[in-house]
Amino acid sequence: MELESSKWFFDEINPHLLQLHAIEGTIYSGRTKFQSIDIMKSPSFGKVLVLDGKIQSSEVDEFVYHELLVHPPMLAHPKPEKVFVAGGGEGATLREILKHPTVKKAVMVDIDADVIKVCKKYLPEYNAGAFVDKRVRVYNTDARKWLAESKEKFDVIIIDLTEPVEKGPAYLLYTREFYQIVKSKLTKDGVISVQSGCASYTELLNLKAVSHTLKSVFPIVSIYQADIPSFGGPWGFCVASMTMDTAALTPVEIDKRIKARTLTDLKFYDGLTHLQMFTLPKHMRKATARGGRLITDDSPLYLYKG
């Protein structure tokens, strides 16, 4: 079958594997100071946000990604009042954070103001009014610099960044030095969650490295995963803390906390889902138990060339 290149988006999973998405049209295409940005219309996934040629989220299944990034660490903490987000330009991470009635302040730091501007205009359903919530503060600067210079401490810190690309805006927010900054800005029972990349068996480089690097800073680190169709398969996340073991929470306890927080509109995450996503298959347990490379400022991890 001959493909018309103008009707397909080629998402590079790795240099040897491409995922093709049929495209009905392009809603927006441009370049910011930091990265390229495209919003396309897919017959399978609706509106799709693409940064630097990589799918970041889709209208149809973004709720899976954002619920899993936000609610496990938020529910692990007994009363999260102050939350920090690195990245999160669509506003959907903020949307999920603000569902927790305990939250008094949410700080989002995304270096790229143009991504936020474009998403507000073309993907307003993603943020669902989060950007105008009085509890929210948004800063357009380097998240690592902002956090290092801040005198505030946070109950939950969520790292919602693009994958590490050479010369990209995010690669120094995956290093041990950055996680040490995060540790210093967490409250005693604070929790950090990190989107950690592809969890397919042949693509565990980023997930293993993030987990291993977090373990060099935090005593309690867990990996979890879920299938995100628009990403082409399972996606990995890590959660870490000095005191809170998110993975140890039972389905009954998760459902109890969901009810107590009045999180009645979750589409994906509940107690049984929690149990399933923290129960890694044998091959993944074996692979991640061996550890990965240590990511440092002097030896960063690049998944793609900039």
Task: Tell me how far apart the alpha carbons of residues 174 and 197 are, in angstroms, rounded to a whole number.
Answer: 11
Q: Which residues contact 84 (CB under 8 A, 6 or more apart)?
A: 106, 107, 108, 109, 147, 152, 154, 156, 157, 158, 185
Residue 160 among the catalytic residues = yes
Torsion of CA 87, 89, 92, 93, to 10 degrees: 10
One of 160, 255, 297, 298 is an active-site residue; which one? 160
Q: For residues 35 and 168, is the Cβ–Cβ distance under 8 A?
A: yes
Task: Name which of 118, 26, 11, 54 is nearest 306 in CA terms.
Answer: 54
Catalytic residue list: 160
